[in-house]
Structure 1
Amino acid sequence: MSTNPLLSPQDALVALMVAASASNEHIETSELVKINQTINHLPIFADFDADRLPTLSRAVFDLFEEEDGLDALFGLLREALPAELNETAYALACDVVAADGTLDEPELRFLEEVRFELNVDRLNAAAIERGARARHMTLG
């Protein structure tokens, strides 16, 4: 592991949220709102420069245009994220895809890949997913 990763841990978390939003090739306003709320309210982002969001988003979109872009993204995430943030990363990805109230097949496959690539235990992942679902329930 490099001592000077290309992304900070906060950059990696933001990049993963953007990737989660883009995973079904359709970015919903509710997902963008969730990303911004997360950056503005969670303690992990207290010293994050929100002006980096457009740059990180562009980097994710550029990677998604590459043939092995998703693998490259996961490589960057693994390098930048300390292991103790893997479940946090998965939880943030779940919150973003749950924000619009629907989960489609590409989003489910993306979350499965995140779970695998970040080595999130299946039982812990199920609890995280249930929490995301509970936080994004609507009436009716």
Structure 2
Amino acid sequence: MPTAHEAMIYVMVITSASDRDMTDEELARIGQVVRSWPVFVDFPEDRLVAVAKDCQQLLHDGRSLDGILELARKAIPARLHDTAYALAVEVASVDLEMRMEEVRVMQRLRQALEIDDTTAHAIELASKARHRMLT
């Protein structure tokens, strides 16, 4: 069973890997999030790569997306489910568009974490606002 921190990283990794192409921008954003978001304040940053590889290994070993989402749901305290969803949105928003695969993963994540539509929409709008550029 992963720790809450590890499970939140799993959420970001599966979001990034949803289109089978983890871009450098997405990987950089995961690192930036782990370094800067308060929820990771007591997570040893040097463990990030190992945890991401653990998640990838679970996928390669036949653990389904639903299986990883179930692990995440159990490991992440309910009060942080919206935070975990926000982490996923942050990674998905890097390229300013969501591909169909990412949309599907986000829908399944919302279901697994029991994120209501209003909360999901608010998180998604906030992320879009944060990533807009002037030009």
Does the alignment reach a TM-score above 0.5?
A: yes
One-letter identity of the residue aligned with 1:138: M
Superposition deviation, residue 63 in structure 1: 2.4
Superposition deviation, residue 14 in structure 1: 1.1
Match of 2:10 in 1: 15
Give secondary structure in 2 for the equivalent of 1:47.
coil
1:87 is aligned, of 82, 91, 100, to 82
1:35-82 deviation per Cα after TM superposition (whole angstroms, max 9, x unaligned): 111111111111101122122112221222344521220121011111
Residue pair 1:63, 1:70 contacting (<8 A) in 2 also: no
- CA RMSD in angstroms comes to 1.3
1:101 aligns with 2:96: yes
Structure 2 alignment gaps of length 5 or more:
none
One-letter identity of the residue aligned with 2:25: S
Cα 1:39–1:68 change in 2 (3 A) is closer
Question: Normalization by structure 1: what TM-score?
Answer: 0.90
CA distance in structure 2 between the aligned counterparts of 1:36 and 1:16, rounded to whole angstroms: 13
Count residues with an aligned counterpart: 135
CA distance in structure 1 between the aligned counterparts of 2:38 and 2:90, rounded to whole angstroms: 16
Structure 1 alignment gaps of length 5 or more:
1-5
